[in-house]
Amino acid sequence: MTEQAIEKLELENDLHHALADQQFVLNYQPILNVQTGDIIGVEALIRWQHPVKGLISPDNFIPLTEETGLIISIGEWVLEEACAQNKAWQEMGLPPLFVAVNVSAHQFKQRDFMNKVEDVLNRTQLPSHFLELEITESSLMSDLAYFKELLFAFKRRGISISIDDFGTGYSSLSYIKDLPIDKLKIDKSFVQDEIDKKETIITSIIVMAKKLNMRVVAEGVETKEQYLYLKNNQCDQVQGYYFSRPVDSATMTQMLTKTKEQKELTSA
């Protein structure tokens, strides 16, 4: 326990310098239209390139950023970096796509969070409909009345909202119909492993979302079998290792460029 406490303290101390020292990087995982196979969006995922410990998974440092309050400044950096990158892709003439950014409850609960998002969009010149904010189901339920008001404000601004890890939280579906949610992300635990045992859950989420005019994305797709099942059951979007692992911005640029060139050849 002592060793763990010391390691946590060292990691926390390093975190305070990581942002200023530009140790964080963003990776991007493509999100595909199930029916066409086209890349229509990317999810921005933070990575910590520690100078001594190497690449650190967000699972090992994001909880610590929330404990220390560093999630606010780090989250702002992620948002601006992701929006700026998406705008850069557009200026390169690549096919337009949305960028999904995970936002913690701590960020959402800032009273000026809406203004901060507005400022980022203004600085990067990214049109609002190319930004998607993701919040987990459990975070949303922590203060439903507050989030409801804020989500409607984002909706009026043209920013999409998705519920991440859907199905793992409170499992209460009654609140969904009253919120301006654009998309439900089926948690990867329902998609991976033996998908036949979870078919009822997956199809129920898809049917419910369709009735509420929401799109559905399945994350964690790793096999052709999983992909075909989701496609046959009218899932809208997918992402996962079957298509691509999260990659750096340069690799993502190459992927998008190749896709554009292939389309131009096909249509020629």
Span 95-129, pLDDT tens digits:
999 999 999 999 998 989 999 999 999 999 999 99
Determine the Cα angle at 136 with ends 28 and 188, to 5°: 60
- Please tell me the predicted confidence (pLDDT) of residue 196: 62
Half-sphere exposure for 209 (CA within 13 Å, toward CB):
26
Q: Which of 202, 197, 185 is nearest to 238 (CA)?
A: 185
Residues 6+ apart with CB under 8 A from 237: 31, 32, 33, 34, 40, 41, 183, 215, 216, 217, 218
- Higher-confidence residue: 188 or 90? 90
Span 150-159, pLDDT tens digits:
999 999 999 9
DSSP H stretches of helix in 47-178 = 62-68, 71-91, 105-108, 113-124, 137-141, 144-157
Q: What is the mean pLDDT of residues 198-205?
A: 80
- Domain CATH for 27: 3.20.20.450
- Please tell me the predicted confidence (pLDDT) of residue 170: 56
**Residues β-bridged to residue 46:** 26
Q: Residue 169 has what DSSP assignment?
A: S
- Please tell me the predicted confidence (pLDDT) of residue 22: 93
Q: How many domains does the chain have?
A: 1
Using pLDDT thresholds of 50, 70 and 90, give the confidence band for residue 262. confident
Q: Are 169 and 141 in contact (CB under 8 A)?
A: yes
Mapped onto helix, strand or coil, the DSSP state of residue 31 is strand
User: Domain limits at 249?
Assistant: 2-267
Span 210-225, pLDDT tens digits:
988 999 999 999 999 9
Average pLDDT over the chain, rounded to whole? 90
Using pLDDT thresholds of 50, 70 and 90, give the confidence band for residue 11. confident
- Please tell me the predicted confidence (pLDDT) of residue 194: 63
- Please tell me the predicted confidence (pLDDT) of residue 205: 87
- Please tell me the predicted confidence (pLDDT) of residue 198: 67
Residue 83 burial class via C-beta count within 10 angstroms: exposed 0-12, middle 13-18, buried 19 and up: buried
